[in-house]
Structure 1
């Protein structure tokens, strides 16, 4: 408030100076004389008019500035909240990975940019037994450990999603068949190395079966899923804790 009074006072003084200069210039030129009353009017009127008017103007400008800042802050908060909602809507609450819909949408978008890559489907072995023997909370702990192991096994640019209860998807962007096999085996090994001890000191083994297929030119997401599902079925029937990655979508149709 003090700053406003000072600024408006300076404006009033400038108005007084302008009024005096104008009176001392124009009135004599018109044959008049600037007497004491005229001089006082040249001083008092600007003070009575310019000072409160400029103070009001400065005050309103300050309020507008504060309002604009608050509006900008509110807009930034709304934008941040919107991003959080979008992120929450597209990610699995427990693992933080993409949910099923977002994973396949990202996979579809990536496929439009390049035909290269591989799709892996990763399924936890004997997971129902963990839920039945130790409860779903313990099962959730196991899933989090498996999800962390999967993250360690993939590369930074790969797309991860939780596509089922204990089933995960990984799209290895631009990966060749040899690279996809190496990454799938690395994921399998990372999970196998986890030491899960939910109760006492007994270690419960965690393993996954992985089925993968290499992206063929023009292959649809549905075709890739069928191919990866077929390899996963083979891994499960082969004794579990296996990673099978092959190309050839025709055999999966």
Structure 2
């Protein structure tokens, strides 16, 4: 007796300590969750800000490149307008080519070409192409289309990766005289190269430019300029003409935050990107500062919870005891009697009462849905299995009546499945009318039905089956008219073993009834059940 009292006392002490522990743990979890949420928000803000910054940076740079290209075309157009009447003056053309190359440093070289494709002036003169016919892709394009052109990047005869920008020269009558063209070397010093190269490249951040053939036109690693880039989601997007941002892993497996934009005139793609690791580097300092600032308050909060948990232990313990018996019908009354003297426990009590009602409602509904055939409202195969398990576990004898509708396929074929469904529903009602409350009436598939009759022998089961057969025979099923059923009866007792065997016997009797002419009841003999 003393031992039981001692155990009970320590059990209650342990329960109180458990409540204190859970309260403290809850405070710690809340603190951790707050810390983690702050970390997640700060981390996402850094990523989002970097993506937005890189997108804006790429867009601004794409606009700058576009403005530079427009400027070069305007320069060529102006020179072409000045030389309309003096295109045959070689000395003047040489002077203009030199001025264009040196005045703005926009071009690495400048050429004047006549209508036959022959170079009539060039700067610098070290190119050694004066009087020769140019046969580069850019020169041929300018000569053929006879309009302002910015060529796709290509490698010249001298091995330079360049872009050729040209403008036609015509006389006052509109007759084509030739064109003026300027080259921009992508691997050598130029305004374009300077425009891209002057931007920041710290903490792993960098930018690059690609053309429509995925060739690198600019890259901080000069050795990669001219290289064709393989599969890359950012390049795929920008070459579709999109402007945006994306988080990706590059070919070296580095996690990067990329912004991208398109150059309208040339459809080149500009990509600015920064390693995610570098973006998130400041977050450690931010979180350390946050932890130090919140730690004193967290400690005070934990001490307060420790003190106050002792005051709330009593009602919570009663509610916890009740929570262990939520499946008991009397639990609701027990919860109602708990003295919840403060708001929080009162709310928990109210929530438990609501939850208790909801739980039992959902359990009952779930059990009904799981075990019920939706068409007829009878038990389904799952409900049958549960009933069989119960009867076998309680070693309760029962009889089985297995039945189905004779020639039911012709009903569906003649009157349609809707009429067939109405027949099945009507038959289900008849079966329920001839059955007791404790009987288990099931639809196990199609037009096949089954009735379990607990504590009933073969004789009584046969009478039930015969009464059901007559009732069906005398019923008119709407437009279908008269129908009949065939039934098989078998009995299970404790010495027969597996209950599934008796279902097979009942099925065999059902098939025997059909072979013997249908619309009849066949009862299994004791030898059939062995």
TM-score, length of structure 1 as denominator length: 0.68
Structure 1 spans left out of the alignment, 5+ residues? 1-59
The question of whether the paired residues in 2 share the 8 Å contact of 1:214 and 1:245 is answered with no
Aligned to 2:471: 190
Correspondence for 2:490 among 190, 213, 221: 213
* Structure 1 position 245 matched with structure 2 position 523: yes
Q: C-alpha displacement at 1:66, in angstroms?
A: 4.9
Aligned to 1:45: none
CA distance in 2, matches of 1:168, 1:226: 13
Q: Higher helix share goes to which structure?
A: 1
* Structure 1 position 162 matched with structure 2 position 443: yes
Aligned to 2:454: 173
1:139-172 deviation line (CA, Å, top 9, x unaligned): 1100011111111122222111111111111111
The question of whether the paired residues in 1 share the 8 Å contact of 2:430 and 2:468 is answered with yes
Correspondence for 1:222 among 491, 500, 504: 500
CA distance in 1, matches of 2:492, 2:502: 7
Correspondence for 1:232 among 504, 510, 521: 510
1:197–1:218 CA distance, 2 compared to 1 (3 A):
same
Alignment of structure 1 residues 82-121 onto 2, 5 Å: 82-121=363-402
Aligned to 2:151: none
1:97–1:61 CA distance, 2 compared to 1 (3 A):
same
Alignment of structure 1 residues 134-145 onto 2, 5 Å: 134-145=415-426
1:197–1:66 CA distance, 2 compared to 1 (3 A):
same
Q: C-alpha displacement at 1:251, in angstroms?
A: 3.4
Alignment of structure 1 residues 17-96 onto 2, 5 Å: 61-62=342-343, 64-66=345-347, 68-96=349-377
TM-score, length of structure 2 as denominator length: 0.34
Q: C-alpha displacement at 1:115, in angstroms?
A: 4.6
1:30-65 deviation line (CA, Å, top 9, x unaligned): xxxxxxxxxxxxxxxxxxxxxxxxxxxxxx935753
1:115–1:61 CA distance, 2 compared to 1 (3 A):
closer
Aligned residues: 189
Q: C-alpha displacement at 1:229, in angstroms?
A: 1.3
Aligned to 2:79: none
1:108-154 deviation line (CA, Å, top 9, x unaligned): 32133235221111111111111111111111100011111111122
CA distance in 2, matches of 1:81, 1:185: 39
1:208-233 deviation line (CA, Å, top 9, x unaligned): 11001122432222210221111101
Cα RMSD (Å): 2.1
Higher CA-based Rg: 2
1:175-203 deviation line (CA, Å, top 9, x unaligned): 122111111101111211221123xxxx5
Aligned to 1:153: 434
1:251–1:67 CA distance, 2 compared to 1 (3 A):
closer
The question of whether the paired residues in 2 share the 8 Å contact of 1:215 and 1:247 is answered with no
The question of whether the paired residues in 2 share the 8 Å contact of 1:114 and 1:174 is answered with no
SS of equivalent residue, structure 2 residue 476? coil
The question of whether the paired residues in 2 share the 8 Å contact of 1:150 and 1:190 is answered with no
CA distance in 1, matches of 2:440, 2:500: 17
